[in-house]
Amino acid sequence: MTWKREPRTWLAIGGMLLLWASAFAGIRAGMRLTPAGSPGPDGYGPGELALLRFGTASTVLALYALATRMRLPRRSELPGIGLAGVLGISVYHVALNFGEMTVQAGAACLLISAAPVFTALLSVVFLQERLSRLGWGGILLAFTGVALIALSGGQGLRFTPGALLILLSAVVAAAFSILSKRGLQHHTPLEFTAYAIWAGTLPMLVFLPGLLRQCHGAAPSATFAVVYLGIFPAAIAYVLWNYALSRMPVSLLSSFLYLSPVIASVIAWVWLGEVPSGLTVMGGGLAILGLILVQTRGQSPGRRT
C-alpha cells in the first residue's frame, strides 16, 4: 500500500501527537508528584493511575461497542490481540509510570524516544519495510534534538535503576506497533484499539484494591486529570494512531513521535508554567528538521508500502 499524504491522515497524526504529548503533564497532575518524585497524598500511585486511566478508556470504548454492535474478534485472533494489549498497554504504561518516579524527566524523555529507533529496526525484520540512509540520518538528527531537550533541564542526565523500566517501555512500544500493524489487516482501527485496550486493562486489575482506597483521598483535580487521560490520550489517541498506522508504514509513522517532547514542552509551559529554555527550543528545531528529512527522503525507492 502506497503512503498517500491524505488530509484525514494528517489530521489523525496531529490529533494523536497533541493528545499524547498532553499525557506527560496529565500523568504528573494525576500523581501530584512531590519534589522528591513520589506521588502526593492526594494523588494516585503509578499502578492505580494506569488502571483508572485505562479503566476509563475501556468503559468509553465498551459503551461505543454496545451502541454500534461492534463485532468481536474470532477465538483464533485472541492470542495476538492479547499480546498486543499486554505489551502496549499493561507493560508500557505501568513500567513508564513507575520509571518516571525515579528517573529525571530529561532522562525519561531521552530513553522513551528510543522507541522509534526500535520500531524502525523491528519493521525491517518483521514487515520488510526499508528506510533510506537519509531516513536513518533523519532519525539520528531527531534523536539528537530530543537529547538536547532532555539536557535542557539543567541537571544533566542521571540514570537510576528505574531507567530500565523506561527503556523497557520503549522496546514494548515498538513491539506494539508491529503487532498493531498486523492486527489492522483484519480489523478496523477502532475495533483493534478497543480489543487491545480491553486486553491490556485486565492485568491492571491487580491495582484495584489500592485504587479503591486512593479514590477517597484523591484531589478532584487529580481525578479529573486521570479521567482526561483515559478519554483523550488513551481511547481517542490510540484510535487516531491506529487509523494512521493502517494507512502508512510503521517506521515513518513512529518518527512523528519525536515531536512529542516538543509539543509536551509547549503544553507544560501553558499547563504547568514551565518556560522552555533556549536549549529546549534548539532541540525542538533539530527534532522537527529530522522528522522532515525522514518524511521526505526516508523511504528506500525499492520499498513503498
Pair 287, 258: CB distance under 8 Å: yes
Q: Which residues pair with 131 in a beta bridge?
A: 299
Rounded distance between C-alpha atoms, residue 291 and residue 251, angstroms: 12
Q: Please, where are the H alpha helices in the chain? A: 7-31, 46-68, 78-85, 92-102, 105-112, 115-126, 133-151, 163-183, 189-201, 208-217, 220-229, 237-245, 250-255, 260-272, 278-297
Q: Which residues pair with 299 in a beta bridge?
A: 131
In the prediction, which pLDDT does 266 show?
A: 78
Per-residue pLDDT tens digits for 223-238: 999 999 999 999 999 9
Find where cell 486493562 sits.
201
Pair 22, 232: CB distance under 8 Å: yes
- Least confidently predicted of 143-157, 173-187, 241-255, 273-287: 143-157
Per-residue pLDDT tens digits for 10-55: 999 999 998 988 887 788 889 887 766 678 889 999 999 999 999 9
Domain-wise residue ranges, the chain: 7-297
In the prediction, which pLDDT does 304 show?
A: 45
Per-residue pLDDT tens digits for 93-144: 999 888 877 766 656 666 777 888 888 888 888 888 877 888 888 888 878 8
Per-residue pLDDT tens digits for 164-222: 888 899 899 999 999 999 999 999 999 999 999 999 999 999 999 999 999 999 999 99
Q: Is 179 left (phi over 0), alpha (psi -120 to 50) or beta?
A: alpha
- 153 has pLDDT over 60: no
Provide the mean pLDDT of the chain: 85
Q: Phi and psi at residue 300, in whole multiples of 5°?
A: -70, 140
More confident residue, 155 or 256: 256
Residues 6 or more apart whose CB falls under 8 angstroms from that of 266 comprise: 21, 276
Residues 144-148, mean pLDDT to the nearest whole number: 78
Record the pTM: 0.85
Split at pLDDT 50, 70, 90, the class of 1 is: very low
Residues 250-256, mean pLDDT to the nearest whole number: 87
Split at pLDDT 50, 70, 90, the class of 305 is: very low
Q: Is the dihedral of CA 173, 265, 240, 127 positive or negative?
A: negative
